[in-house]
Amino acid sequence: MPVLSIQSVLKRFGDFIAVNDVSFDVEPSRIFGILGPNGAGKTSTLRMINNITAPDEGTITIKGQPVSENSQQWIGYLPEERGLYKKMKVGEQLLYLSQLKGLSKSDAKTSINYWLDRFEATTWAKKEITDLSKGMQQKIQFIATIAHDPEICIFDEPFSGLDPINSELLKDVILELKSKGKTIIFATHRMEQVEQMCDDICLFNKGKVILKGELNTVKQSFGKNTVNISFSGDSSFLNDLENVRVNNKSTNFAEIRLLEGANSQQILRTALDKVEIYSYELVQPTLNEIFISTVHADNKLES
């Protein structure tokens, strides 16, 4: 049984439809990525899952029960809008928030100390939030989200404000949570993180779900429609290629999306006439390319 089920959910704000007939299931102990451009309906959906707002139509169930105040005991939620008490010391704040989630003082201290150490933040316990950088505050808010050991962890843009080293640390922690049987749901713009971590994805655009499924299955459904080419020489030959879109172009590398009518062998012949080829490979598209092409196609249907 899905740990979370969303069926035919619609959410309006005045005349604006933020979430439009959305349905998807999240299976237990998996990492589920919610993707989409700004304003696509991701955060509105997460807020309904967390019972902050209610759907105007449709149903949301967690562990088979309708979303309610009671269902929140299973959830740890990191909102996109961070909400720490700026003049409260880190340790006191984490203790207060953990006890609000039902932990005893003793259990809360044990959990907080573990996670502060895990994030190399033990010395921050007596600091006020205003004394911390944005990235440090992000770590503390993340600890506040998971300190009570929730079954379901929901993160809205969890990597925002983190440098590459701390992004990698956070990724490791999320994978560690999954290994312990937690269900992870997160919304992000960071396609490389999704590609490395997610089991399943759901792509939103203009309030609708336009693509969903198991990540590898989604990628396979697009086929090998992308050429990765490494070369030495003048890259201007890329401008002469027909029926393609060139992505990630650099001095000696290009990722080339094959559009309708493109011929990968003709691309190779053109390249061989102009540059020295180091590698030429026909591959599945990256998730970033799938994201861009699917959203563009949906927008064309709307126009």
User: Tell me: the pLDDT tens digits for 30-51?
Assistant: 999 999 988 899 999 999 999 9
DSSP class of residue 272? Answer: H
Give the Cα separation of 71 and 178 in Å (integer).
20
208 and 233 belong to one structural domain = no
Give the Cα separation of 108 and 143 in Å (integer).
11
The answer to whether position 145 is within a domain reads: yes
Q: Which helix (H) or strand (E) holds 158?
A: none
CATH number at residue 242: 3.30.70
172 and 253 belong to one structural domain = no
Number of domains into which the chain is organized: 2
207 and 231 belong to one structural domain = no
**What's the mean pLDDT in 109-115?**
95
Look at residue 224 and give its three-state secondary structure: coil
Range of the domain at 262: 224-283
pLDDT at 303 over 70: no
For 160-178, the pLDDT digits (tens) are 878 889 889 999 999 999 9
pLDDT given for residue 201 in this prediction: 96
**Of 51, 58, 54, nearest to 20 (Cα)?**
58
The answer to whether position 298 is within a domain reads: no
The answer to whether position 302 is within a domain reads: no
Give the Cα separation of 266 and 274 in Å (integer).
13
The answer to whether position 271 is within a domain reads: yes
| Helix axes of 134-146 and 105-118: crossing angle, nearest 10 degrees | 140
**Of 283, 287, 273, nearest to 236 (Cα)?**
273
Mean pLDDT is lowest, of 45-49, 233-237, 245-249, 255-259, for 245-249
pLDDT at 197 over 90: yes
Confidence of residue 260 (pLDDT cuts 50, 70, 90): confident
Give the Cα separation of 248 and 253 in Å (integer).
8
66 and 11 belong to one structural domain = yes
**What's the mean pLDDT in 101-105?**
91
The answer to whether position 291 is within a domain reads: no
